[in-house]
Amino acid sequence: MTQTPAEIAATYFEAWKAKDFDTLVSILDDDATFRGPLGTAASGAECVAGLKGMSQIVTDIDIAHVFVDGPNVLTWFDLHTSIAPPAATANWQRIENGKITEITVTFDPRDIIAAG
> 56-66 pLDDT, tens per residue?
999 999 999 99
Parallel, antiparallel, or unpaired: how do β-strands 28-36 and 99-106 relate? parallel
Half-sphere exposure of 112 (CA within 13 A, CB side): 18
Query: In the predicted model, is pLDDT for residue 33 greater than 70?
Result: yes
Percent of the chain with pLDDT over 70: 99
Mean pLDDT of the chain: 96
**Domain that includes residue 98, residue range:** 5-115
Q: How many domains does the chain have?
A: 1
Cα–Cα distances (Å) from 4 to 1, 22, 33, 68, 69, in that order, read 9, 20, 20, 10, 11
Higher local confidence (pLDDT), 113 or 116: 113
DSSP 96-112: ETTEEEEEEEE---HHH
Longest CA–CA separation in the chain, Å? 45
Specify the CATH number for the domain of residue 69. Answer: 3.10.450.50
pTM of structure = 0.94
